[in-house]
């Protein structure tokens, strides 16, 4: 893999602690089941005709009662329909949506995972001790609107890109690295799962893998390879990406970490003071095209 960096032991330790503390994480075989099916073929971003190597949905079932009853998931799901997915189209944020963003941040800030991230960032002098200040900081990083392309109107934010997904000129899928959004879009027949992308040292992923590289189409466009955590809580992903974002001033940061059995490169791109994109890459998958 290009730009391979040495394993970051400090972050690996922190993220494993978060993983173990993530009581809201969905467990494979218990809270959901996936069917990885066939290996996806080679395809370029923007191709419309692509071989479908998976006849069925990726998600066979998900415990929806649990999704609805856990505050961080239910408040997260309420945010998913707040965005105009086409880039270049101005986002209009209503007072209701601002209230929903705040409800979500309030919910995640109550969790052990997010408190652990806050403590770590405090030690690094990258966050303020007051939770209200930290919440304001999170809001700015994730929800503040910006123009994805210079000259456009404010049409994007970190949350929309990473968790909801965007389309560019109807030909390209940007972002959409979240399993809950994937599941809900698949359930509404908006997403067509095309198959998995292999890891070099593993012939195929299995139904218990909680990080996957997959190929899919959404709103008429194909994503040749997209990486996503499966089953993790929204607070886990928020904590992980926020920590890496705040630790670096670089436009693109890649940190190699080992979380559970997964050796990952966590990629975080900044857009000024905001998150541009963030996703995990399994270190043994060959593609950088996320």
The tokens describing 275, both together, are: 């998150």
For CA atoms 256, 156, 165, 67, give the dihedral sign: positive
The yes-or-no answer on residue 125 being catalytic is no
Whether 118 is a known active-site residue: answer: no
Name the pairing type of β-strands 221-229 and 211-218. Answer: antiparallel
Decide if 266 contacts 242 (C-beta within 8 A): no
Residue among 57, 118, 177, 274 flagged as catalytic: 177
Q: Which helix (H) or strand (E) holds 138?
A: helix 131-143
Q: Which of 57, 118, 223, 274 is catalytic?
A: 223
Any residues with CB less than 8 A from the CB of 3 and at least 6 apart, and which?
254
Tokens of 287: 């593609």
> Looking at 57, 161, 194, 274, which residue is catalytic?
161
* Residues 6 or more apart whose Cβ sits within 8 Å of residue 83: 91, 160, 164, 166
Please confirm, yes or no, whether 60 is among the known catalytic residues.
no
DSSP one-letter code for 161: I
Task: Kindly state the greatest CA–CA separation across the chain.
Answer: 52
Q: Could you give the residue numbers annotated as active site? A: 161, 177, 223
């Amino acid at each position: 893999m290009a730009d391979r960096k040495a394993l970051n032991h400090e972050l690996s330790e922190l993220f494993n602690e978060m993983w173990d503390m993530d009581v809201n994480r969905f467990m494979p075989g218990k809270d959901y089941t996936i069917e990885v099916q066939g290996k996806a073929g080679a395809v370029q971003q923007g191709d419309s005709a692509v071989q479908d190597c998976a006849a069925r949905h990726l998600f066979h079932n998900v415990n929806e009662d649990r999704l609805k009853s856990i505050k961080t998931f239910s408040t997260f799901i309420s945010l998913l329909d707040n965005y105009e997915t086409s880039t270049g189209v101005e986002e209009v944020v209503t007072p209701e949506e601002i209230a929903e963003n705040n409800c979500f941040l309030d919910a995640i800030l109550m969790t052990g995972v997010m408190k652990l991230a806050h403590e770590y960032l405090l030690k690094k002098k990258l966050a303020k001790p007051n939770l209200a200040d930290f919440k304001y900081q999170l809001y700015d990083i994730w929800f503040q609107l910006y123009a994805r392309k210079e000259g456009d109107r404010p049409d994007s934010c970190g949350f929309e890109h990473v968790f909801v997904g965007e389309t560019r000129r109807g030909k390209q899928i940007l972002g959409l690295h979240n399993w809950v959004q994937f599941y809900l879009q698949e359930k509404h027949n908006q997403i067509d799962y095309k198959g998995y992308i292999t890891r070099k040292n593993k012939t195929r992923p299995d139904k218990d893998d909680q990080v996957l590289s997959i190929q899919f189409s959404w709103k008429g466009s194909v994503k040749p390879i997209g990486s996503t955590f499966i089953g993790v809580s929204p607070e886990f992903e928020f904590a992980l990406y926020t920590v890496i974002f705040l630790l670096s001033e670089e436009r693109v940061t890649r940190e190699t970490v080992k979380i559970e059995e997964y050796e990952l490169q966590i990629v975080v791109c900044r857009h000024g003071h905001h998150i541009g994109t963030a996703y995990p890459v399994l270190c043994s998958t060959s593609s950088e095209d996320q």
